[in-house]
Structure 1
Amino acid sequence: MSAATGPHTLLVIAKEPVPGRVKTRLTPPYTPQEAAVLAEAALTDTLHTALRAPARRRVLVLDGTPGPWLPHGFDVVPQVSGALDERIAAAFDVCDGGPALLVGMDTPQLTADLLSCTGPDGHDAWFGPAADGGFWALGLADPSRAGSLVGGVPMSTDRTGAVQRLRLAEAGLTVCDLPLLRDVDTAADATRVAGLCPPGSRFATALASLAEAVR
């Protein structure tokens, strides 16, 4: 990992935490409303962590409408329509040059140090694999190449990460591999991730509150 210089642009791609639209694999055991509470907590933790990471610009690429969970310090741009690979590639289009790092809203255990990895360290790309076979981070020294590097990668499968990582290598890019992280997809994931979150985590607090409510 490079020194904590940070990306020029830090992108968070996310959905508005609306019941029935987010974290549907948490139901059951959680209700759609409870799943949305957990999604909002995970997103809020991610955004506040992004504020602590060095970056010239921070952008929330949002499917939906900003709410009171959005802190100051972010530009907000809408996600384009289309498949996830198209939406991820398009997210990089808002960058105005320099390295960019994109993360999702599913890893509230993120730290500012992890988000500081993307910078002028000689790498062309940065890749963070996820335990479910996907990826939690994708960084590009040249964001304008995102369309060719991401477009057509099959998303939401257990081989998404492997295909994306291979795509970067086949393009001749030097890739910095980031630590493996677990996404919050299922209730079991939520419990494991909460145990990895920093003290004061909104996600861990929300999960504990829901557990208390059913006792």
Structure 2
Amino acid sequence: MRAVLAAPPPTLLLIAKAPVPGRVKTRLTPPYSPEQAAALAEAALADTLATLSTVPAGRRLLVLDGEAGRWLPPGWEVLPQSGGGLDARLAAAFAHAGPTAPALLLGMDTPQVTAAMLAEPLAAARRGGVDAWYGPAADGGFWALGLARPTPALARRLLLGVPMSTPETGPALLARLAAEYLTVSHLPLLTDVDTATEVDQVAAQAPDSRFAACRRTIVRTPGVTG
């Protein structure tokens, strides 16, 4: 019991792009206009920030490409993303988390995520024997990665060179985790929003979210799907 009480709260890392038309969610255009795609991105980002704000944490870090806007709630530190490909930027994000507390990194593409999905597996009483947390995405990628003892070197070994945004992304990362002999706790399977079809699926899964409300206000280009 004493060890559980002394366990440090986790660091939550959210890697995101500022929702600027033409720079975010470009795969949604068409059927959405760049402005509509940016509105959906902002809603997804706001939902994710709001959810993570309710998860017990020692620090909440937004690793951002761009400038923060009105969607940023209080209690978040904003740090710039590094350069390089997505694998390098994900690895570099972990460098902002100290090695003495677990860190969980996720993106802005799963506005349906709930606080319980994260708070329960990250609770001190549930962390014993766990080295990493892995959230699989329906497209074969991953929506979350957590490390019990995050270090920049470990993050680089796990992420650099992993092919991103392909059906092999998740299996490649799981193979890296296995090669490091890490005990992995699996989070729920979620759909991340990359296509118009996935917009509809995720909005239906979280009907009370900002994301779903935004989707309901948008009229898409007729006859175009994604």
TM-score normalised over the length of structure 2: 0.88
The 3-state SS of whatever aligns with 2:122 is coil
> Which residue number corresponds to residue 90 of structure 2?
88
- The one-letter code of the counterpart of 2:217 is S
Distance in 2, Cα, partners of 1:213 & 1:66: 30
Match of 1:118, as an amino acid? L
SS class of match (1:110)? coil
List per-residue Cα deviations over 1:178-197 (Å, max 9, x = no partner): 11100111111000000111
Say if 2:13 is the partner of 1:11: yes
1:153 maps to what in 2? 162
Of 198, 202, 206, 2:214 maps to 206
Aligned residue in 2 for 1:173: 182
The letter of the residue matching 1:177 is H
Partner of 1:141: 148
Determine the C-alpha separation between the residues in 1 that align with 2:221 and 2:30: 16
Aligned residue in 1 for 2:44: 42
Q: Cα RMSD (Å) of the superposition?
A: 1.9
Q: Which runs of 5+ in 1 are unaligned?
A: none
Taking only the aligned residue pairs, the percentage that are identical comes to 59
The 5 Å alignment of 1:51-62 reads: 51-62=53-64
Do the aligned partners of residues 73 and 198 (structure 1) sit closer, same or farther apart at CA in structure 2, a change above 3 Å counting?
farther
User: Could you give the per-residue CA deviations for residues 26-45 of structure 1, whole angstroms, max 9, x where no partner exists?
Assistant: 11110000000000000000
Greater displacement, 108-117 / 34-43: 108-117
Please name the residue that 2:139 is paired with: 132
Count residues in correspondence: 210
User: How far has the Cα of 1:148 moved from its partner?
Assistant: 1.2
Instruction: Describe the shift of the 1:161–1:82 C-alpha distance in structure 2 as closer, same or farther (beyond 3 A).
Output: same
Q: 1:87 to 1:213 in 2, by over 3 A?
A: closer
Structure 1 residue 99 corresponds to structure 2 residue 99: no
Q: CA deviation at 1:7?
A: 5.1
Q: TM-score, normalised by structure 1?
A: 0.93
| 1:188 pairs with 2:197 | yes
Contact 1:123 1:141 survives alignment (8 Å): yes
Shift of 1:198: 5.5
- State the SS of the aligned residue for 1:90: helix
Hey, what does 1:164 align to over in structure 2? 173
Per-residue CA deviation, residues 15-65 of structure 1 (Å, 9 max, x unaligned), is 000111111111111000000000000000000000011111100000011
CA distance in 1, matches of 2:111, 2:11: 19
Alignment match, 1:118: 122
Q: Deviations over 1:54-97 (max 9, x none)?
A: 11110000001101111111001000000111100110001122
Taking the aligned partners of 2:193 and 2:150, their CA distance within structure 1 comes to: 27
Is the 2:51–2:114 contact (alpha carbons within 8 Å) kept by the matching residues of 1? yes
The residue identity in structure 2 corresponding to 1:171 is E
- Give the partner amino acid of 2:56: P
